[in-house]
Structure 1
Amino acid sequence: MTHDDFLADQFQAHRPHLKAVAYRMLGSLSEAEDAVQEAWLRLARSDAADIGNLGGWLTTVVGRVCLDMLRSRKSRREESLEERLPDPVVSQADAADPEREVLLADSVGLALLVVLESLSPAERLAFVLHDMFGLPFEEIAPIVDRTPATAKKLASRARLRVRGAAPSPDPDLSSQRRAVDAFLAAARDGDFAALVSVLDPDVVLRADGGLLTGGMKVIRGVAAVAGQLDTFHRMATGSATRPALVNGLAGLVNTIDGRLISVMSFTITDGRIAAIDILSDPERLARLDLTGLEP
C-alpha cells in the first residue's frame, strides 16, 4: 500500500464523522459533501507526517470550511437557508443504516436544524463543535479567531437560544409513532377534535414548497395548525403514505403513482406534536437519497 493509499484509507475512516459535523453546521447535504471534499484536498496538500491527531485536524479543517461557507451564505441573503427547510435525511422506519446513524446521532431533527440556521456563524460553530462533538474551547477558539473564553460565551449564547426555541423530542420512537399515527388517522377522518388532541398548544408547522410557492411558510399555535385540516385530509387521502424515519424521528413519506410529493417530520414532546416540518419542493425532493426505502 502506498502512502497516498494509506492516507486515503485513513480519511475514509473519518468521513462519516466529518459529514456529520458539516451537516449540523450547514443543514445542506450537498454542501456538507463539498466541505468534506475540501478537507480531503487540504489534507492531500499537507504533510501528513506533521499531523499528530488526524481526526482532530480534519474536524478543525471542516469547521473552518463550514464557517467560511456560512459567512458567505450570510452575505448573499438571496441564497440563505433561513428561508427554507434544511435537507432531511430519510430512512426506513424499521431498518438500521450505519452511515445515517452516524450522520444523525443525538437526534438532529429538522426542528433543531431550523434553530441552528438562526445563529450567527461563530455561534453555530462553537455550539456544534463543543455541545455536539465535545471539542474543547481551546481548539474551537482559533477557528473563530477568538479567545477560549469568548468561544465559550458564543456556545453558551447559542445554547440558550436552542433550548428556548427547539423542542426536545421524546426519546421513545414507538411513542413518537403513536402520535404520528393519531395525526394521520385524524387527517384521514377529517376529525378536527382528534387533530387538536394530538397537537401541542404551541405547535409550529413549517412547510417548504420551494420558490414556486413562495418559499417556507410558518404557522404557529394549535388553532392555526389544526385549521390546516383540509390540507392534511387531502394529503392523507390523495396520496400513498408510509412511515419513515426523518432525521431519526418518526415521519411520513407521501407519494402519488410512485412519485415522491412530500416528506414530513414530526417532533413529539410529552406525547404531543410540537413541530411539523414538511418538504414538498419537487426540485429538492428529486435530490433526496431514498436508498433502502421500500416503494
Structure 2
Amino acid sequence: MSLRPYEADPFERSRGRLEAIAYRLLGSAGDAEDAVQDTFLRWHAADRERIETPAAWLTKVLTNLCLNQLTSARARRETYVGQWLPEPVLAGDRMLGPAETAEQRESVSTAMLILMERLSPNERAVYVLREAFGYAHREIAEILDLTESNCQQIHRRAKQHLSSGRARTEVDAAAARKVVEGFLAAALSGETEPLIRLLTDDAVGVADGGARVRARRTPVVGALGVARYLRGLFRPGAAKRAEAGGRAALHAAVVNGSPAVLVAAGERILAVLCLAPTPEGVEAVTIQVNPDKLERITRRWAAAGPHHPLAEIW
C-alpha cells in the first residue's frame, strides 16, 4: 500500500536532515542512503496516527539503525584491505547537511570523519547530534534511551577523544582552487622539493583502494615521504593510462569542505585527493580510489558539468 501525499510529506521534509545525520554517523554515502530508506520503510509500516512528532520519531529510528550499522561496520573494518577512508562528498550535496557554524562544517570534514572512527557508537551519535545538529542533551537522551547526565558525560568524553590541537583552514571554492593550483604545480613539476615546501613536517598520506584498485596499504608519514609518494602517483606511465582508459583530467573541487583534486576520465571520477590545509601547510592528503566509494560523487559531478580541467596527466 503506497502512502498518500500528506502521509509521505513529514518524511520528505526530514529526508535531507536524515541523510546528513546518517552520513556523519556512518562515513559512507551509500550506507547513509540505505539507512534513510530503511527509516522510510519503518515510517511506511508505522501507525502514523500515534506518532505525535514525526521529525523526532524519524530521527530516533534512523539513529538507532545507524548505531546497529556502526557495530557491524567495526567488525568489517577489522578485515578491510588496506586503509579505510570515508566516502567523499562534493560541495552542494545535501548529504553534507547544515554548514552555518564551524562545528557543523568540521563534523563532515574528512579528518573528523576519520577521527570519529575512534569513538564508540554512542559517543559518535551524541557528538554528531549535539555538535552538528544542535540537539539538546535531553533530546539526545530520548533518542538513545539514556539519561541526560549520561549524554553530557558521553559528549565530554567524545570531545576529548576528537581534540586535534591544530587549526584547520576553512576554504571557499575560490580559495580551494588556489590551493589545488599550487598543489598541482608542485605535483606535476616532477621534483620533490616543491611538494615538500607545501607540506607540514609531519604530513600524512593515506590511500583507500578497498582491494578494488591498487593503492598503498599503509600510511606515508613525513613531508619527504609524502612528497616522494605523490611524485610517483603523478608520474606518467603506460599502466596508469591503461587503467584510466587514456589521459585523465585534473579538476579543482571542494569535497567535505576541503580543497580537492578530482581525477576524471570523461564523466567518471577515478580518484579524489582531499587536501587538509593548515596555516603551517598541508597536513594530510587522503586519496580515495575505491570505485565503490566514488559512485555518488561521480553522479553529482556529471550532473554539474561541463567542467574545465586544470591539467591532464598520464
Could you state the TM-score of these two structures normalised by the residue count of structure 1?
0.85
Q: Which runs of 5+ in 2 are unaligned?
A: 242-246, 308-314
Quick one: distance in 2 between partners of 1:82 and 1:115?
A: 17
> In terms of mean alpha carbon deviation, does 114-123 or 39-48 score higher?
39-48
> In terms of mean alpha carbon deviation, does 284-293 or 259-268 score higher?
284-293
Matches within 5 A, 1:102-117: 102=97, 106-107=104-105, 108-117=108-117
Do the aligned residues in 2 keep the contact of 1:170 with 1:271 (CA within 8 Å)? no
Cα deviation for residue 122 of structure 1 reads 0.9
Quick one: distance in 1 between partners of 2:78 and 2:162?
A: 24
Cα deviation for residue 270 of structure 1 reads 1.7
Quick one: distance in 1 between partners of 2:47 and 2:264?
A: 50
Deviations 1:229-285 (A, max 9, x none): 422432799632111221232211113466532111112122621221111123443
Do the aligned partners of residues 5 and 162 (structure 1) sit closer, same or farther apart at CA in structure 2, a change above 3 Å counting? same
Equivalent residue, structure 1, for 2:198 = 198
Equivalent residue, structure 2, for 1:158 = 158
Deviations 1:87-143 (A, max 9, x none): 11135xxxxx46356377733122211111221111101101111111122222244
Q: Over aligned residues, Cα RMSD in angstroms?
A: 3.0
Quick one: distance in 2 between partners of 1:219 and 1:30?
A: 28
Amino acid at match of 1:89: V
Q: Is 1:138 equivalent to 2:126 in the alignment?
A: no
Do the aligned residues in 1 keep the contact of 2:90 with 2:253 (CA within 8 Å)? yes
Could you state the TM-score of these two structures normalised by the residue count of structure 2?
0.80
Do the aligned residues in 2 keep the contact of 1:179 with 1:273 (CA within 8 Å)? no
Do the aligned partners of residues 66 and 259 (structure 1) sit closer, same or farther apart at CA in structure 2, a change above 3 Å counting? closer
Deviations 1:163-206 (A, max 9, x none): 22786332444333322211110111123222122112232211
Amino acid at match of 2:235: R
2:275 to 266, 270, 278: 266
Q: Is 1:34 equivalent to 2:34 in the alignment?
A: yes
> In terms of mean alpha carbon deviation, does 181-190 or 107-116 score higher?
107-116
Amino acid at match of 1:160: Q
Q: Which runs of 5+ in 1 are unaligned?
A: 92-96
Q: Is 1:234 equivalent to 2:241 in the alignment?
A: no
Do the aligned partners of residues 11 and 235 (structure 1) sit closer, same or farther apart at CA in structure 2, a change above 3 Å counting? farther
> In terms of mean alpha carbon deviation, does 285-294 or 153-162 score higher?
285-294
Do the aligned partners of residues 35 and 103 (structure 1) sit closer, same or farther apart at CA in structure 2, a change above 3 Å counting? farther
Aligned residues: 289
> In terms of mean alpha carbon deviation, does 80-89 or 180-189 score higher?
80-89
Do the aligned residues in 2 keep the contact of 1:179 with 1:271 (CA within 8 Å)? no
